[in-house]
Amino acid sequence: MHIKICGLTNPDDAFAALDAGADMLGFNFYSESPRYIAPTDCSRIVSAVRNRQSEIAMIGIFVNQPSRFVAEILDLCGLDAAQLSGDEPPHLITRLWGRAYKAIRSRSIEEAEQDALRFTPLASGEPALLVDAVHAQLYGGTGQVADWAVARYLSARCAVLLAGGLTPENVAEAIRAVEPWGVDVASGVEAAPGKKDHRKMIDFVKAARSAVAQLA
């Protein structure tokens, strides 16, 4: 089970996520998000974290940005991959040389099947897809729970990172229901938008690991 703590904005929270046992850290470059981080600040955090733990995966979150911009930020900040959380077309993943995966918000199994056909053949690593909750106006970070039946369908076919309304209280249930490649949390472990609750991060990771042990 891979655990991603997303929407990090400061060094203290990043190190607390690392200490809690996260496998992936996410940094949001969508300027309208309350979890937005400037590239220069992200670069400093990534460098400091890698000095302690070089193996942890660092992910940049982007919404409807051109491939050149995304690639420049990945290189500037020393990030491993881009999470494309907007309305990006499949060819953007190709233009990023496989250094990206797509977040989808499928409304049905049929729509999920089409999304998987469009995006998973282009993903060269893992995860292949992130499954998030459907929202008419917002691109993630809503606190709304994703459709676990859709996520379960996709998880049987590719490496799915499950997001959408996960908390320390429901992540174990979500893992049992979906059996995803990994789980992704942002608002569910916050004290306020952009500021993490360190206790909640610890509880989230513990609950996720416990659920995986029960499935084994």
What ranges do the domains of the chain cover? 2-215
Task: State residue 134's pLDDT score.
Answer: 61
The whole model's pTM is what?
Answer: 0.92
The pLDDT tens digits of the residues spanning 167-178 come to: 999 999 999 999
Task: State residue 210's pLDDT score.
Answer: 95
Q: Look-up: residue for tokens 């089970």? A: 1
Which residues have CB under 8 Å from 91's CB, separation 6+? none
Nearest to 161 by CA among 197, 137, 138, 186: 186
Task: State residue 143's pLDDT score.
Answer: 67
| Whether 42 is catalytic | no
Radius of gyration of the chain (CA): 16
The pLDDT tens digits of the residues spanning 14-36 come to: 999 999 999 999 999 999 999 99
Residues of the chain with pLDDT under 70: 123, 134-143
User: What is the rounded CA–CA span in Å between residue 28 and residue 46?
Assistant: 13
Question: Are 112 and 106 in contact, with CB atoms under 8 Å apart?
Answer: yes
Q: Say which CATH architecture domain 2-215 belongs to.
A: Alpha-Beta Barrel (3.20)
| Whether 132 is catalytic | yes
Nearest to 104 by CA among 30, 162, 186: 162
Q: Which of 6, 77, 147, 184 is catalytic?
A: 6
3-state DSSP call for residue 117?
helix
Q: Which of 13, 132, 147, 184 is catalytic?
A: 132
